[in-house]
């Protein structure tokens, strides 16, 4: 019987055809798997395109359906790296939980979609996160942090915003925070945003006319007008909480504050003495942008710093007013230092002249920067209830550019504090993600030598080596 053999060309063509079919088959299998499972590998330095463990834990805890409606076409997220990252993060939620459904809706082509939400104003780019009867509306701009001057996007907070919205619509009642007004207090817009994005409902409450009893924590930001005795009694009654305690008050200071004798006396009862002046730092590496009155702080203890994503990232407390702790424990009251200014810091008195010499400052570091003041009640079931005052030397630590800065831990640390003071659990606090390339910081002389090395020396060495190899082989 005659046997047929494939020629070389036919065998080669058959091999190519089989390889192509195998590639198509394998790609199809992976495509099907990728629709059900997350097969992507994120090689970026900050894992910018993958969900954080906190978000994954939140998704694992879901027990009811969550719908994420993006009022934009999916291809509208092309172009900008931050828009691409935001779309990728959105796509990760349904891939990591069967309870999450993601839909991209072209709102311009389907304006009737707004009839489903008659009580809110919708616009293209909005993101609606819905769980049962709970709804959270996000603006597209809320997915990013911006430079305060140029308004350019500097980092992404897409995962933080989406995960916080899922937490808010899937959980029960949110914590309530009162931003106290009525004493010429500082602006708190950035604090509002931070609290709202982390499932804490914040509202302005007048110190004189408002009621505080329904709030878990109150914020008193560097008042310029001294508090009256009845107002201080009101704060004291809030913290006492009819003997139940369990309340918290955040008080921040500023170097520009005038003497406030009533507030100073009240804080002294809690174990703190307010001092005059402004804190400065003499070591350039412990300042922000080489500004002495913008000192970076050190962690005094690790009960909270140990829970941060990176305990090496500092907090910035600009324009700080100094204070000192009077005791560690006395009767049912306790004080503890959470943050401190370094031993190379000092205090410039408010009345100091232009000839002030930092080296001759009367008050030098280390100085407390953030303190936890505790007042306890009678023990119940083995644990004494307590209320707390958190005293910060700086109100500027709550400014938008600082809270949103991915190189500072201000926002994350503050939220950990709120969780600790209020006993809140199952929270999502995620750091902003920057997609900017890392910079190589060199001076002009170093850059010149690097240029000579890369443009002249290395190519010359390669050329000589190639020529030597060529001559050697030619004479073999």
Q: What is the pLDDT of residues 52-93, one digit of tens each?
A: 888 898 899 888 899 999 999 999 998 888 899 999 999 999
CA 76 to chain centre: 27
223: Cβ contacts below 8 Å, ≥ 6 apart: 183, 184, 185, 257, 260, 263
| pLDDT above 80 (res 158) | yes
Tell me, what's the pLDDT at 407?
81
pLDDT for the residue 168: 76
- 470 has pLDDT over 80: no
More confident residue, 417 or 16: 417
Measured distance CA(263)–CA(376) in Å, rounded:
21
* Helix extents (H) in 339-409: 400-403
For 28-63, the pLDDT digits (tens) are 676 665 555 554 544 444 557 788 888 898 899 888
Segment among 106-115, 132-141, 175-184 with least mean pLDDT: 132-141
Question: What is the arithmetic mean of pLDDT over 158-178?
Answer: 82
CA distance 11 to 74: 45
- Find tokens 């914040």 and name the residue: 202
Nearest by Cα to 160 from 144, 136, 141: 144
pLDDT at 41: 46
Region 261-282: mean pLDDT is: 96
At residue 436 the predicted structure's pLDDT band, cuts being 50, 70 and 90, is low
pLDDT at residue 368 tops 70: yes
Share of the chain above pLDDT 70, in %: 84
Q: What is the mean pLDDT of residues 187-212?
A: 86
Task: Decide which of 155 and 277 is more confident.
Answer: 277
- Binned at pLDDT 50, 70 and 90, residue 157 comes out as confident
Closest CA relative to residue 63, chosen from 132, 150, 118, 143: 132
**Residue 203 confidence (pLDDT):** 92
- Predicted pLDDT at 458: 80
- 438 has pLDDT over 50: no
**In percent, how much of the chain has pLDDT > 90?**
43
Closest CA to 126 of 150, 145, 108: 108
Q: State pLDDT tens for residues 117-149.
A: 887 788 888 999 998 877 888 888 878 877 656
């Amino acid at each position: 019987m005659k046997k047929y053999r494939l020629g070389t060309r036919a065998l080669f063509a058959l091999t190519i055809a089989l390889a192509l079919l195998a590639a198509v088959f394998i790609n199809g299998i992976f495509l099907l798997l990728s629709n059900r499972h997350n097969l992507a590998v994120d090689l970026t330095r900050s894992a910018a395109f993958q969900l954080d463990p906190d978000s994954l834990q939140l998704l694992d805890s879901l027990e009811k359906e969550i719908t994420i409606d993006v009022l934009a076409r999916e291809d509208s997220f092309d172009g900008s790296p931050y828009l691409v990252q935001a779309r990728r993060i959105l796509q990760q939620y349904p891939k990591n939980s069967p309870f999450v459904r993601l839909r991209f809706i072209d709102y311009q082509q389907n304006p009737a979609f707004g009839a489903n939400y008659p009580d809110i104003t919708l616009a293209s780019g909005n993101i609606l996160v819905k769980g049962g009867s709970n709804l959270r509306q996000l603006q597209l701009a809320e997915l990013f942090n911006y430079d305060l001057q140029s308004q350019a996007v500097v980092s992404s907070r897409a995962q933080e915003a989406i995960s916080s919205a899922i937490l808010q619509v899937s959980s029960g009642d949110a914590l309530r925070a009162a931003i106290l007004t009525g004493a010429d207090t500082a602006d708190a817009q950035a604090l509002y945003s931070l609290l709202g994005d982390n499932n804490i409902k914040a509202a302005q409450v007048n110190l004189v006319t408002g009621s505080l009893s329904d709030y878990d924590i109150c914020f008193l930001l560097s008042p310029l007008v001294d508090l009256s005795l009845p107002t201080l009694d009101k704060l004291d009654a809030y913290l006492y909480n009819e003997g139940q305690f369990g309340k918290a008050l955040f008080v921040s200071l500023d170097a520009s504050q005038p003497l406030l004798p009533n507030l100073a006396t009240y804080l002294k009862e809690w174990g703190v003495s307010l001092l005059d002046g402004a804190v400065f730092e003499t070591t350039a590496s412990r300042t922000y942008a080489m500004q002495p009155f913008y000192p970076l702080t050190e962690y005094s203890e690790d009960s909270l710093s140990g829970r941060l994503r990176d305990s090496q990232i500092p907090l910035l407390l600009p324009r700080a007013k100094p204070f000192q702790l009077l005791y560690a424990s006395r009767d049912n009251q306790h004080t503890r230092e959470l943050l401190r200014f370094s031993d190379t810091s000092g205090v410039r008195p408010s009345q100091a002249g232009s000839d002030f010499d930092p080296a001759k400052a009367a008050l030098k570091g280390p100085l407390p920067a953030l303190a936890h003041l505790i007042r306890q009640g009678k023990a119940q079931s083995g644990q004494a209830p307590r209320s707390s005052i958190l005293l910060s030397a700086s109100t500027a630590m709550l400014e938008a550019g600082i809270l949103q800065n991915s190189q500072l831990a201000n926002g994350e640390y503050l939220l950990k504090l709120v969780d600790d003071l209020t006993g809140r659990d199952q929270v999502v606090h995620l750091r902003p993600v920057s997609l900017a390339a890392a910079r190589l910081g060199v001076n002009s002389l170093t850059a010149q030598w690097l240029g000579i090395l890369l443009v002249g020396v290395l190519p010359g060495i390669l050329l000589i080596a190639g020529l030597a190899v060529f001559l050697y082989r030619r004479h073999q």
